[in-house]
Amino acid sequence: MSKKKIINTRLTAILEAAPTEDLDRQDYFIKVAKEEVAKRSEAAGRPMTCCVNTFGCQMNARDSEKILGVLEKAGYVESEDEHADFVIYNTCTVRENACNRVYGRLGYLSTLKKKNEFMKIALCGCMMQEEHVREKIHQSYPFVDLVFGTHNIYKFAELLVEMLFSDFQIVEVVEGSNKIVEELPIVRKYSYKSGVNITFGCNNFCSYCIVPYVRGREKSREPKDIIREIEKLASDGVVEVMLLGQNVNSYGKGLADPITFAELLQEVEKIDGIERIRFMTSHPKDLSDELIEVMANSKKICRHLHLPVQSGSSRILKIMNRHYDREHYLNLVKKIREKLPDVALTTDIIVGFPGETEEDFLETLSLVKEVEYDSAFTFIYSKRTGTPAASMPDQVPEDVVKDRFDRLLKEVQEISEKRARAYEGQDATVLVESVNEQDASLVTGRMSNNLLVHFPGDKDLIGKLVDVHLDTCKGFYFLGSRK
């Protein structure tokens, strides 16, 4: 009997004995994994270590916390870097450079694996939902032990067991399911703040964007599950939550008892112990007057709105399938600034979308000047296979895009600095996040409007809300002192 056969007989027996109900089933696989991990630790004479590396957005990061939750329950100890017995890359495919970073590091992982007989490698996340990626991994990176997608993270314990008892590459990717399984174990990266998923997937199909294809259709979590999770976080000492969704403003559609995002926020506001509420991302087409009103009356919702515009040209916005035009966006900004004068507005902008002319670009520049963003993420358009924009004519030449990108960045930076400088000399409450990496006598805190302040203090302040004076503006951050 071949080795593979013996291993698979064991695996078959393990699989046959598994309960069918989701949570019981995953608990069972965690126990099986734990026994195996303990055996391997004994053989190695040290604990088995793991490393989960996140390449994508906040939603991706939250998924990594779920993966780590299962790994720790199975007996793995988190390691500081990729010199570990199990390395997982949670990938992103929103732009090509995110993918290149993964391919670039896989070669390095293979050299580590050659030196460690226990080492296993898994790839998961958005890239793995693409068939051409899976083919490439299979052909060119056969040393990868496990590949899974964005829809089956809830059964990661089961996949882990399959991997531990097999000696060939396991690929498990589900297309388009949006099953939500609550109450899985989670290890939070920060003690005092946490992301909380409110929707999964996206229905918007902006013509440049791969997310709806790799994350599936939009689905909202039940409000009671969200509230229960946040109450639990608050009782664990979390003071700040970030509600996560590709388009939080469409939260609640499709639930048996539909509720709006603004109504959900009001429920979250009532939870004792939660001091700050943030959310990401707001789509301009769905941002309601009700939301602006709720923000204006709230003591906990942070003074920050991330409102991606993508382009200042109505012609381009139409081809991008964004469902708003320049005028609608500018009116929205006007309304927001009237009702929330202290809010920081931030955005995402894409330069070089197919067919973008110099005139279109100048409209983006002029919108940036008019809105005066507190900060903006600027991206060079990246062609994503399978999206409508990938096959559009008039892809803009690289040198033209680069020139526009540089002009935009300069404008954006000048405006951000000017906006930040206006706070110099004022007082602010910050949530302390960490000891400063460069200077250990300082801590770093975040203002409600998302700006960072460094000021004298020690690690005991982490997770505390502290009143500071903003002494000096250093461009995009402040040096401050405690009041």
Q: Are 317 and 310 in contact (CB under 8 A)?
A: yes
C-beta of 268: minimal distance to ligand SF4 in Å? 22
Site for ligand SAH in 374-393 (CB under 6 A): 379, 381-382, 384
User: Binding to ligand SAH by residue 279, rule CB under 6 A?
Assistant: no
Query: Pairing state of beta strands 442-447 and 427-435?
Result: antiparallel
**Partner from ligand SF4, ligand SAH, ligand F3S, none binding residue 92, C-beta < 5-8 Å depending on class:** ligand F3S
- Give whichever of 240 and 356 is closer to ligand SAH, judged by the CB atom: 356
- Give whichever of 99 and 343 is closer to ligand F3S, judged by the CB atom: 99
Q: What residue spans of 141-260 are helical by DSSP H?
A: 156-164, 211-215, 223-235
Rounded CA separation 318/324 (Å): 7
Stretch that binds ligand SF4, among 8-16, 175-183, 203-211, 398-406 (CB under 6 A): 203-211
Q: Are 446 and 421 in contact (CB under 8 A)?
A: no
User: How many positions of this chain bind ligand F3S (CB under 6 A)?
Assistant: 12
CA angle 345, 350, 355 (to 5 degrees): 140
User: Given the structure tokens 């540089």, which residue do they identify?
Assistant: 406
User: Binding to ligand F3S by residue 126, rule CB under 6 A?
Assistant: yes
Least Cα distance to 331 among 376, 370, 280, 298 occurs for 370
Amino acid identity of 354?
A: P
User: Binding to ligand SAH by residue 94, rule CB under 6 A?
Assistant: yes
CA angle 442, 448, 454 (to 5 degrees): 15
**Partner from ligand SF4, ligand SAH, ligand F3S, none binding residue 59, C-beta < 5-8 Å depending on class:** ligand F3S
The separation between the first and the last C-alpha atoms of the chain, rounded to the nearest angstrom, is: 74
Stretch that binds ligand SAH, among 22-30, 154-162, 203-211, 455-463 (CB under 6 A): 203-211
For 296, the enclosing helix (H) or strand (E) is helix 289-297
- The contact mask relative to ligand F3S for 196-215 (x = CB under 6 A, - = no) is ---------------x--xx
User: Binding to ligand SAH by residue 308, rule CB under 6 A?
Assistant: yes
**Partner from ligand SF4, ligand F3S, ligand SAH, none binding residue 108, C-beta < 5-8 Å depending on class:** none
Rounded CA separation 105/119 (Å): 16
Least Cα distance to 295 among 338, 340, 252, 261 occurs for 340
- Length of the chain in residues, anyone? 483
**Partner from ligand F3S, ligand SAH, ligand SF4, none binding residue 95, C-beta < 5-8 Å depending on class:** ligand SAH
Position among 60, 64, 199, 247 found at the interface with ligand F3S (CB under 6 A): 60
Percent helix, strand and coil across the chain, each to the nearest 5 = 45, 20, 35
User: Binding to ligand SF4 by residue 412, rule CB under 6 A?
Assistant: no
C-beta of 383: minimal distance to ligand SF4 in Å? 15
Rounded CA separation 290/83 (Å): 50
C-beta of 211: minimal distance to ligand F3S in Å? 5
Helix axes 398-421, 358-371, angle to 10 degrees: 10
Rounded CA separation 467/204 (Å): 41
User: How many positions of this chain bind ligand SAH (CB under 6 A)?
Assistant: 17
User: How many positions of this chain bind ligand SF4 (CB under 6 A)?
Assistant: 10
Binding site for ligand F3S (CB under 6 A): 56-57, 59-60, 92-94, 125-126, 211, 214-215
Binding site for ligand SAH (CB under 6 A): 94-95, 208-209, 211, 246-247, 281, 283, 308, 310, 348, 350, 379, 381-382, 384
